[in-house]
Amino acid sequence: MDRSTLTLISTESILPKLGSIKAELIARGFGILSETHLNPGFETSATDPTGDAFSLKFEALLTSTQSKALSQHLGTVFSMDAIVQPLQDAETPKRLACFDMDSTLIQHEVMDELAYRHGIGEEISAITETAMRGEISFKESFNRRLACLKGFDAELIPGIAQSLKLMPGAEILVKTLRANGTKVTILSGGFENFAVHLQNALGPLDALYANVLEVENGKLTGRISNQLVDETRKLTLIKTLAEQQGIDDRQTIAVGDGANDIPMLLHAGLGVAYRAKPLVQEKAQHCINHTTLAAILYVLGYQRSEFVEH
């Protein structure tokens, strides 16, 4: 018997809509096997930033294309995040999580932040958006933007790093994963200086890979001093890290928002496009747009009571 699971996450109570959602599944010929309220306390504490969440298990033989279409339909009609997965995939423990940094774990594009301090913010942001939409390659975009930062005062970097804000739900997500034995890694096309600061904010991570800014005489040279972390490198890293740890690809998670994240999102056992650019949402199997990063824990089957917050 082929089974699937539907995870629903919303900033509002799901209960008033649950009957209609189940009716939608039944109308499609799917037999509902069970339902689990993953955050039952939401009914008495509707200010919980992690949102309300339900998991529905149902009988269905769905292709990945059909699963995604159903997720998109339910998410659009009922204004919430909806993730449909084969039950076997959903119940496979995840042991490695790889995260993009800029606009994923943090609310910023670091290159843009440096550019605004350098007085060329709008010019750099325009190139960033073009790359994130996949209209030019990440490598071309990266080199063009970084060259514009030549002469930037490196002493300003620690202060900028301190000002960066975490994406809502990032801390809960990372701490809960690590407390349950999942290795957490940053794979960033951004910069190591900022990834290190993020690691300090989130607690120790298992590894981080990012680009290293080259500095001469206290100024940025407009170059990096390492192998560029682009879409190809991210894909290689998630494969290598899993292999080194004896982790099956089905036990991996990847989360990102930009075009350079697409290969690792497609490779991972659970690839999530988080508030991503249109091209990324089109390519990725799973998308989260309405709720916080903590929603990924619900997708993994965690109960709200199992979240680690401190």
Which residues are identified as catalytic?
100, 102
**Partner residues linked to 219 by β-bridges:** 153, 216
Q: How far apart are CA 209 and CA 228, in angstroms?
A: 10
Judge residue 159's burial from the number of C-beta atoms within 10 Å of its C-beta, 0-12 exposed, 13-18 middle, 19 or more buried: exposed
Tell which residue, 236, 276, 239, has the closest CA to residue 259. 276
**Partner residues linked to 215 by β-bridges:** 220
The total number of residues written for the chain in this structure: 310
For the chain, the three-class secondary structure string (H helix, E strand, C coil) is CCEEEEEEEECCCCHHHHHHHHHHHHHCCCEEEEEEECCHHHHCCCCCCCCEEEEEEEECCCCHHHHHHHHHHHHHHHCCEEEEEEHHHHCCCCCEEEECCECCCECCCHHHHHHHHCCCHHHHHHHHHHHHCCCCCHHHHHHHHHHHCCCCEHHHHHHHHHHCCECCCHHHHHHHHHHCCCEEEEEEEEEHHHHHHHHHHHCCCCEEEEECEEEECCEEEEEECCCCCCHHHHHHHHHHHHHHCCCCHHHEEEEECCHHHHHHHHHCCEEEEECCCHHHHHHCCEEECCCCCCHHHHHCCCCHHHCCCC
Q: Confirm if 139 and 156 have CB atoms less than 8 A apart.
A: no
